Amino acid sequence: MNKVFVIDTKFQPLAPCHPAKARRLLRAGQAAVHRTYPFTIVLLRTVEEPVAPPLRVKIDPGSHVTGIAIVHDATGEIVWAAELDHRGQMIVASLLTRRGGRRGRRSRKTRYRQARFLNRRRQAGWLPPSLASRVANVVTWVRRLRRVCPIQALSMELVRFDTQALQNPEISGVEYQQGTLAGIETKEYLLAKWGRQCAYCDAQGVPLEVEHIVARDQGGSHRLSNLTLACVPCNQKKSNRHVREFLTHDPSRLAHILSQAKAPLKDAAAVNSTRWALYEALQATGLPVEVGSGGRTKWNRTTRGLPKTHWLDAACVGANTPETLWTSERLHPLTIRATGHGSRQMCTMDKYGFPRTRAKQAKHVHGFQTGDIVKAVVPSGKHQGVYVGRVAVRATGSFNIRTASALVQGISHRYCRLLHRVDGYAYQSKVEAHADTGRAFSAPRPSSQGSSSWASGRYSL
């Protein structure tokens, strides 16, 4: 499992510790829970001259999921790992909904409201909101990790370098096309486009060959829209037959291949559009930033015999990857899903664009906010039991709690105890940090400056 982050009473980040040691500190009353996600404890004393281990945050940016890992440069231990799910498509859907509402207002018999999408000047380095959110998510988590862990350096996957151009800057024409990397870029593109599996039988983990959908002697070309991947048996079985003849018995697969052949790599375009913005944002942190190529990441992972996952790809980014990466079999990456901070829309609309709900009410009720993770211990009544989950507040003080299995309604705020404040992200892990098997410890809240939510309660690691 992930190690536990540790800070002292002056909020100095200390070396992460093993969960067993954190349990001992909590049970002995020498520490208290500071934050649930990522799980952090605060020592009830100040540490003079803390030792800062050489920890490095390594990032493997992705369009949908970004892998994050903290690696000890000296020992090669993977201290902490997470997979961050972005919400780019949710943002696109929200923008389309907003655009539809505004267009509907202009088309009705109401006072004309002029469209303003043509009188805006974009700043240098502007990114669409769906792409900017990807950069913001990664930067947010780098800053959060720096507050609870003594990070010394950063590494990120930036670009796949062209070694031919590095060796010979004047390379061009046919010499470039027939160099040592001839066909490598095409193969990597096709692997990403076709999901690293055979297009005809969905075989994975076997040697794949570049295959012409329409054979050359049937009029096919070498264009990427006419190339796919096939395992050796399927490639030999198809031979030079036309794909329509070869897949006559499977029309659904034929339709999928023909549509996928012309589909662009939107995910690769999103990563390419945001990579330099992310690099500049990480440089602004003041930490040394190492960049690596996708080819280097793949080579590091393959030579160390690691499976392909987002967080292990992150641990293999860059030339500073230790020769041996060590991780416990019980290490389960924390799954982080970006959910946003709600909507600015004051009330929801019906299908005609008119408001169908009243304006938003008070955001905080009895110290709780919708989206907070709480633990409710109901001593009696029809809802008797213990519930842990996200809360939806009501002005009456009767809350709803959505647990992992059901939605429980009508829980009084008096029975609720805060575990984690809503922060724009949802979390999931095989080892939950707020399991109810620990002992109760509490710590005083810090003063107004540098204050944070020190949650007291029963926790286990």
Residues 61 and 152 in one domain: yes
- Note the pLDDT of residue 360: 76
Is 263 within 8 Å of 53 (Cβ atoms)?
Answer: no
Residues 204 and 62 in one domain: no
DSSP 414: G
What average pLDDT does range 303-323 have in this prediction?
A: 91
In a domain, 20, yes or no: yes
**Beta-carbon contacts of residue 84 (< 8 Å; ≥ 6 apart):** 65, 66, 67, 68, 137, 138, 141, 336, 337, 338
**Segment 39-55, tens digit of pLDDT:** 999 999 999 888 889 99
Which of 57-71, 104-118, 184-198, 264-278 has the lowest average pLDDT? 104-118
Which of 224-238, 253-267, 289-303, 373-387 has the lowest average pLDDT? 253-267
Residues 278 and 320 in one domain: yes
Residues 374 and 438 in one domain: no
Structure tokens at 290: 């190492």
Residues 75 and 156 in one domain: yes
Strands 289-292, 151-157: pairing is parallel
Structure tokens at 459: 């926790």
C-alpha to C-alpha distance for 192 and 214, rounded to whole angstroms? 20
What average pLDDT does range 385-408 have in this prediction?
A: 92
Type of residue found at 148: V
Residue 244's CATH number:
1.10.30
Residues 60 and 157 in one domain: yes
In a domain, 442, yes or no: yes
Residues 204 and 190 in one domain: yes
Residue 401's CATH number:
2.30.30
In a domain, 293, yes or no: yes
In a domain, 332, yes or no: yes
- For 224-342, strand residue ranges (E) read 227-231, 289-292, 334-338
- Which is more confident, 335 or 192? 335
Residues 67 and 46 in one domain: no
Report the domain count for the chain.
4
Is 325 within 8 Å of 316 (Cβ atoms)?
Answer: yes
In a domain, 36, yes or no: yes
In a domain, 106, yes or no: no
> If you compute the radius of gyration of the chain from its CA atoms, what whole number of angstroms results?
27
In a domain, 14, yes or no: yes
Strand-by-strand arrangement of the 373-378 sheet: 407-412, 398-402, 385-392, 373-378, 416-420
- Which is more confident, 160 or 7? 7
Predicted confidence (pLDDT) at residue 443 exceeds the cutoff of 70: no
65 in helix, strand or coil? strand
Range with the largest mean pLDDT of 105-119, 238-252, 424-438? 238-252
C-alpha to C-alpha distance for 440 and 33, rounded to whole angstroms? 10
From 261, 288, 308, the end of a domain falls on: 261
Pick from 340, 404, 274, 275: nearest CA to 85: 340
From 261, 290, 313, the end of a domain falls on: 261
Residues 330 and 271 in one domain: yes
From 261, 281, 304, the end of a domain falls on: 261
**Segment 325-355, tens digit of pLDDT:** 887 777 889 999 999 988 777 887 787 767 8
Residues 65 and 13 in one domain: no
**What's the whole-number average pLDDT of the chain?**
82
**Segment 116-134, tens digit of pLDDT:** 777 778 888 889 999 999 9
C-alpha to C-alpha distance for 285 and 276, rounded to whole angstroms? 15
Residue 278's CATH number:
3.30.420.10
Domain that residue 308 falls in: 55-87+129-161+266-338
| Residue 448, φ and ψ in degrees, nearest 5 | -60, -35
C-alpha to C-alpha distance for 374 and 387, rounded to whole angstroms? 8
C-alpha to C-alpha distance for 456 and 79, rounded to whole angstroms? 25
Q: What count of Cα atoms within 13 Å lies in the side-chain half-sphere of residue 86?
A: 27
The confidence band for 277, taking pLDDT boundaries of 50, 70 and 90, is very high
**Segment 21-31, tens digit of pLDDT:** 999 999 999 99
Residues 194 and 250 in one domain: yes
In a domain, 112, yes or no: no
Residues 287 and 146 in one domain: yes
Positive or negative, the Cα torsion across 113, 116, 119, 123? positive
